[in-house]
Amino acid sequence: MSRLFSKILIANRGEIALRVIRACRELGIKTVALFSEADRDSLHARFADESICIGPPNSQQSYLNIPAGISAAEISDAEAIHPGYGFLAENPEFAEVCEASGITFIGPQSAHIKLMGNKIQARKLAVRAGVPIPGGLDGLDDPEEALHGAKKLGFPVIIKAAAGGGGRGIRVVHSEASFRTAFSMAQSEAGSSFGNPEVYVERFIESPRHVEIQILADHHGNIVHLGERECSIQRRYQKLIEESPSPALDEKLRRKMGEAAVALTREAGYVNAGTVEFLLDGDGNFFFMEMNTRIQVEHPVTEMVTGVDLVKEQIRISANMPLDIRQEDVVLRGHAIECRINAEDPEKFTPNPGTISFYYAPGGPGIRVDSAAFESYYIPPYYDSMVAKLIAHGRDREEALSRMQRALEEFVIEGVKTTLPLHLRILGKMKFRKGEYGTDFLDKMLS
């Protein structure tokens, strides 16, 4: 008989560390927080049952330090490690070291992280699973050979890093004249960012929608999808607003995309929570893009419309427990929208670390705020600039939008610049209100 863990170490910081602590507390599991010297006064270090300083502010010496994280788990007698998102969450070496150390990694196996982390191998897997992919070329390292293939595909094309993520190692090329330079730049950026200069070329889909499917898979062969999240509001491939369900999907398309995500998950033998990401063109055709092998920043919108606690499910799956929901149990109720509030100049998009002099989070019906910020909190310059995730849920999209508008107007963060004004501008655009937008929406709005 499987049992839950008695103690879990959280190899992360900020709001996601708090999110895991809360799930563990509800499950009766003790928690150990890691913190850098810059996060000594952070909420996740305060609220965990135990906390261990892992090193100086620099993430390479603290949150990305694998030996230090494993040592902290061993000295605290933690049975499992939850990596959150970012940092080591999709690092196959970290998952592999956990496995070798007899510590449960709350996520997929290292082999699956490695497989899905290579976008070329993931494309091949999708083909075997019968999931559509954009036309493309891989295994290319010579610009001339790549250009010959790109001309056959037809411009525009997009060059992507095989081991990419976070919008790095990506170049969109509209003509033959700029291809060679873009190809070399993508290789260089991929090598410096990911230690792997391998890139591939895909047909570029103009103004697509970015739609992802949340899946859960256990060790007993059960796989379910929890509907989709619309993630098309983004800047430089970084998501800013997400919602569920997508304004672009009907029940038939939702079922087809969900079945495709499940088929790919099953073909991979993947276990735990994951997200299968698709591009959707204007004709309703969808194409596999990648699979994220971790909990997503935007997971709350799925939780709000399904009532499923994704972090708890991750923990239960890792404890070898079977899913207690079946596909027919998944029902999307109402509509949810999430805005990522970053400590950035809302016009220049430059980070704006500093001390919060006044902080007031909104509340009321249908409002959820996931944040580790508070008045007098110092936002350090060493990590991601996200301050809070503001989630609004309503009976339908119109009510969710109204609640988000009201909550954004209530939210007060002083002492640093934030993207609150940008989100209000986006919500004021008629195209967004009507749900008529693609991944180029923000570029057009700001141009």
Which two structure tokens, joined as six digits, stand for 90?
């999709």
Distance CA 392, CA 423 (A): 13
Question: 3-state SS string over the chain?
Answer: CCCCCCEEEECCCHHHHHHHHHHHHHHCCEEEEEEEHHHCCCHHHHHCCEEEEEECCCHHHCCCCHHHHHHHHHHCCCCEEECCCCCCCCCHHHHHHHHHCCCEECCCCHHHHHHHHCHHHHHHHHHHCCCCCCCEEEEECCHHHHHHHHHHHCCCEEEEEEEEECCEEEEEECCHHHHHHHHHHHHHHHHHHHCCCCEEEEECCCCCEEEEEEEEECCCCCEEEEEEEEEEEEECCEEEEEEECCCCCCHHHHHHHHHHHHHHHHHHCCCEEEEEEEEECCCCCEEEEEEECCCCCCHHHHHHHHCCCHHHHHHHHHCCCCCCCCHHHCCCCCEEEEEEEECECCCCCCECCEECCEEECCCCCCEEEEECCCCCCEECCCCCCEEEEEEEEECCHHHHHHHHHHHHHHCEEECCCCCHHHHHHHHCCHHHHCCCCCCCHHHHHHC
Q: At what angle do helices 251-268 and 110-117 cross, to 10 degrees?
A: 120
Distance CA 86, CA 106 (A): 14
Q: At what angle do helices 310-318 and 299-306 cross, to 10 degrees?
A: 100
Which two structure tokens, joined as six digits, stand for 128?
């075997």
Is 294 a known active-site residue?
Answer: yes
Distance CA 308, CA 313 (A): 8
Distance CA 121, CA 306 (A): 32
**Catalytic: which of 19, 123, 229, 294?**
294
Q: How many residues does the chain have?
A: 447
Which two structure tokens, joined as six digits, stand for 320?
């070898």
Distance CA 8, CA 22 (A): 12
Active site residues: 294
